[in-house]
Amino acid sequence: MPGPKLLQAGSVIVLSPLNGIVDGMLASLDKAGRVVIPKEARDQLGLGPDAQFEVTLTGDGLLLTPLRKPRRRIVDVDGWPVIEAVRGVAVTDADVQRWRDDGQR
């Protein structure tokens, strides 16, 4: 019987439920329903603490798709720095302060 696989397609993680083993590592479910994603997979996808995922049930497992925060850019418009709009994301005072601080380094 083949073992479970950790598959990567773009930035999607597919965990197969066979025996709870992912790439030779045991993944167990705790009382709160949490599963630890193997460090190798977290490192490969650049996932850190507080990463959020869309969870989709598949025929025989779960599909976890990391949610990425849209990145804003500062673009030049007629010689002026302008914060590029990102749909559904408001610019906060903290954002502006961080960009000011980054520009002074």
Going residue by residue through the chain (105 aa), what tens digit of pLDDT does each one get? 444 444 444 445 555 544 455 555 566 788 898 888 888 778 877 788 888 888 888 887 788 888 876 666 778 889 998 877 766 667 788 878 887 887 655
Task: Give all strands of the β-sheet with 53-57 in edge-to-edge order.
Answer: 6-9, 12-15, 62-66, 53-57
**Would you state the pLDDT for residue 49?**
84
Alpha-helical (H) ranges within the chain are: 39-45, 93-103
Model pTM? 0.43
At 68, which amino acid appears?
Answer: R
**Would you state the pLDDT for residue 23?**
52
